A and B are shown apart, each in its own frame.
Chain A
Amino acid sequence: MKYVKIALYCLLAVFIMARACPAQEQEKSNSQKRAERIMALEERFAAASQEGKTIKGVLIEGNSLFNGTVDIRTKPYGKPYTEAELKNALRSAERNSKVFLITKDGTLYYPTVKQGEADSESMGGYRFERMISYDQKDRKVLPWATLTPLVGREIEVLGIVYPGYGCVKGLYIEAVKFEGEYIRGQGK
């Protein structure tokens, strides 16, 4: 019985070592790769922003927009909802109703995955890279964001625009930037 126990421990040790060693090596290179990728993304974002190639718009919840429950045309840009409407819009968005981006000139964008990805998921489950300042980095602000908490707020997007359908354009989001906290009151 003693040998069975020893054998079992050896087996466990082999399993753990086999998984842990390559993972550690890979983690380092992946970590470096990620840092490089983020740096390149930050540079591209800054350059695109300076050239006016990023898209600035307000995130709008789709159901209330398309069924006319909320008429954003009567609202000032950047303040599409009243407090009560915002509450409903946020709740609908977290229940997976679609979220759109509307710019100051009224162009409507449908956030989507990269062209060619036939098998995809709801955009509400995606984390997007968030462009944060050095000060925010020091304050350990989350380097990513999702769309739902940002409904009703203005964001700046680096991405690829697709022709879409009708008047609605497709938008593949590479990175987002926005003022204030990702989650209100949580310092994130």
Chain B
Amino acid sequence: MATKKIISMKSIFYTVVSLVWIFGLSAIGHITMVLIEKNNPAIKYDFAWWCAIVGILALYSTRWMKSDGWQSFTGCLAGLSVWFAMEYSLMYGGHDMGVTYTWNGSYPEYRLMKWTYMLFIIVFLYLLYQESVRCNLIFYLRRKLRLMRGAIATGKIDNYGPRTFFEYVMVTWAFYVLLMIGYDENLFGMYSWYIYTLFFVSFSLFFYLTYKLLGYDRFGANLRYAIPTVTILWNDVEVLSKWGMLKEPWVHINWPIMSVIIGGFVISTYLIVKDLRTKKQGMIEVKDITMKDN
């Protein structure tokens, strides 16, 4: 966690660029899968293996990166690559076991993902008690639930790459599971109080997290905190699509809108890379947690 700073034009710039980049990354990830499914589904499992390999290699490469900005940037890309492989593995599992589409349109792979909720809880419980974890939400839960016997984690983090990678995967996984539980007509359903609550909580939290994000003025921290901020907004995008109020341009391949998103992604990538290259001697945060933040 980076030290909080006063909101400035600089922090607004970093926040906007980070949000655009993470949003573009998710949208491009989606359209890649849709295009493969549409034009050449035969390659999808090969593609998944390559994504897994490239993701793991990218993650490994963070070992040599000195700035937390590069570590976070690469960790995020690695997380997306491995998440691709994860979704394709569920797709393969669904195909292999003959899982059907649901009558309200959910895909087999996401039906399978829903039932990983207990596995998610196990991993989350581990993170909750894992003393070196610095996630804000987990810190909050530890404090409120009085979970820790000693002081909360402090100290230097040498490599943000694996943390960003894991954050990307966990955040994406968590929201998929939450949505799929909601979409299940046998549990709640797409017009249930659960989905409405999820929609409005996600909408509100997006603004709250964006406000918090404005406190950081470097690409390392901004990129990391942009992941949950964008993903929580993505819940609303998914729900609106499920309600038939939005046609996702990455699912329905709307090239004019996708061109804008891809353009935003390219420009934000350029700005991030330029900034990170300028700050070659970017320091890894030493004082990661300050009690005064809490």
A27 partner residues in chain B, CB cutoff 8 A: 35, 39-40
A125 touches B101 (CB 8 A): yes
Min distance, Cβ B190 to any Cβ of chain A, angstroms: 8
Which residue of chain A is the closest to B191 with respect to CB atoms? A185
B39 touches A186 (CB 8 A): no
B254 partner residues in chain A, CB cutoff 8 A: 140
With contacts A124-B101, A186-B105 known, is A91 near B39, CB below 8 A?
A: no
A124 touches B98 (CB 8 A): yes
Q: Is A4 an interface residue (CB 8 A)?
A: yes
A19 touches B50 (CB 8 A): yes
A1 partner residues in chain B, CB cutoff 8 A: 64
A27 CA to B253 CA, complexed, in Å: 15
Q: Is B212 an interface residue (CB 8 A)?
A: no
Which residue of chain A is the closest to B37 with respect to CB atoms? A127
Which residue of chain B is the closest to A95 with respect to CB atoms? B100
Q: Is A49 an interface residue (CB 8 A)?
A: no
A94 partner residues in chain B, CB cutoff 8 A: 100-103
B243 touches A125 (CB 8 A): no
Interface residues on A, range: 35 or more
Which residue of chain A is the closest to B39 with respect to CB atoms? A30
A30 touches B40 (CB 8 A): yes
Q: Which of B53-61, B157-165, B283-291 contacts A (4 or more CB under 8 A)?
A: B53-61
Which residue of chain B is the closest to A18 with respect to CB atoms? B50
With contacts A23-B43, A26-B40 known, is A93 near B103, CB below 8 A?
A: yes
Q: Is B150 an interface residue (CB 8 A)?
A: no
Most B-side CB within 10 Å, residue of A19, A121, A125, A149: A125
B244 partner residues in chain A, CB cutoff 8 A: 181, 183, 185-188
- B53-106, CB < 8 A from A: 53-54, 57-58, 60-61, 64, 94-96, 98-105
Q: What 1/0 mask marks residues of chain B from 132 to 161 whose CB sits below 8 Å from any chain A CB?
A: 000000000000000000000000000000
Q: Is B186 an interface residue (CB 8 A)?
A: yes
- A166-188, CB < 8 A from B: 181-183, 185-188
- B218-255, CB < 8 A from A: 241-244, 247, 252-254
Min distance, Cβ A140 to any Cβ of chain B, angstroms: 4
B104 partner residues in chain A, CB cutoff 8 A: 149, 183
A188 touches B98 (CB 8 A): no
- Kindly identify which residue among A4, A93, A142, A148 contacts B64, using a CB–CB cutoff of 8 Å: A4
A149 CA to B47 CA, complexed, in Å: 30
Interface residues on B, range: 35 or more
A151 CA to B95 CA, complexed, in Å: 21
User: What's the dominant secondary structure at chain A's contact region?
Assistant: helix
A11 CA to B103 CA, complexed, in Å: 45
Min distance, Cβ A96 to any Cβ of chain B, angstroms: 5
A140 touches B247 (CB 8 A): yes
B98 touches A96 (CB 8 A): yes
Q: Is A65 an interface residue (CB 8 A)?
A: no
With contacts A26-B40, A125-B101 known, is A186 near B242, CB below 8 A?
A: yes
A95 partner residues in chain B, CB cutoff 8 A: 100
Q: Is B185 an interface residue (CB 8 A)?
A: yes
Min distance, Cβ B251 to any Cβ of chain A, angstroms: 8
- Kindly identify which residue among B38, B102, B247 contacts A148, using a CB–CB cutoff of 8 Å: B102
- Kindly identify which residue among B38, B50, B57 contacts A8, using a CB–CB cutoff of 8 Å: B57
Other A-B contacts than A19-B47, A125-B108, A186-B242, 7 sampled, CB-CB below 8 A, are A5-B61, A30-B39, A31-B39, A34-B39, A91-B185, A146-B100, A148-B101
8 A-B pairs whose Cβ atoms sit less than 8 Å apart in the complex: A8-B60, A8-B61, A19-B50, A34-B38, A140-B252, A140-B254, A148-B102, A183-B244
B residues sitting closer than 8 Å to A (CB atoms) are: 35, 38-40, 43, 47, 50, 53-54, 57-58, 60-61, 64, 94-96, 98-105, 108, 185-186, 241-244, 247, 252-254
A residues sitting closer than 8 Å to B (CB atoms) are: 1, 4-5, 8-9, 11-12, 15-16, 19, 23, 26-27, 30-31, 34, 90-91, 93-96, 121-122, 124-125, 140, 142, 146, 148-149, 151, 181-183, 185-188
Q: Identify the 5 closest CB pairs spanning chains A and B, nearest first.
A: A124-B100, A122-B98, A140-B252, A90-B103, A186-B244
